[in-house]
Amino acid sequence: MSTLNFKREISGTLAEGIARATQALAAEGFGILTRVDMHLKIKEKLDKTINPTVILGACHPGFAYQGYTLNSDISGLVPCNAVIRELAPGRLSVEFVKPSALIQILGDARLTELAREGDAALARALENL
């Protein structure tokens, strides 16, 4: 298992993967703040083609608030990214960045503990795709 993210392969279209990831995250208290259609931006800016890849900026308001009150430097590390990437037609990779992987850069033990709670919530969301 990756130290950076939780990852799982699922079947379906990109739109279905985005919907499933959004629903699974919502069930754990995460909302989607941003969406970047990376493949479209790469095509627009560089005229290069990559596999369809969408990055969702997922945020759990409770965790974000708790983290901010502990150390406002956390602001640069939220939201957590959720990536839905087409591997082949009908086959997707869904990846949720582990908060603990990001938070460790701040060296704050209180935030690390909170990030582990976020890790657990994201792992559950991935399981429930």
Over residues 47-84, the pLDDT tens digits come to: 999 999 999 999 999 999 999 999 999 999 999 999 99
pLDDT at 48: 98
| 10 neighbors 19 (Cβ within 8 angstroms) | no
* Residues 6+ away with beta carbon under 8 Å from 122: 6, 25, 28, 30, 80, 96, 98, 99
Could you give all domains of the chain from N- to C-terminal order, each with its CATH number? 5-127 (3.30.310.70)
pLDDT at 1: 57
Query: Rounded to whole angstroms, how far apart are CA atoms 4 and 73?
Result: 20
Over residues 86-112, the pLDDT tens digits come to: 999 999 999 999 999 999 999 999 999
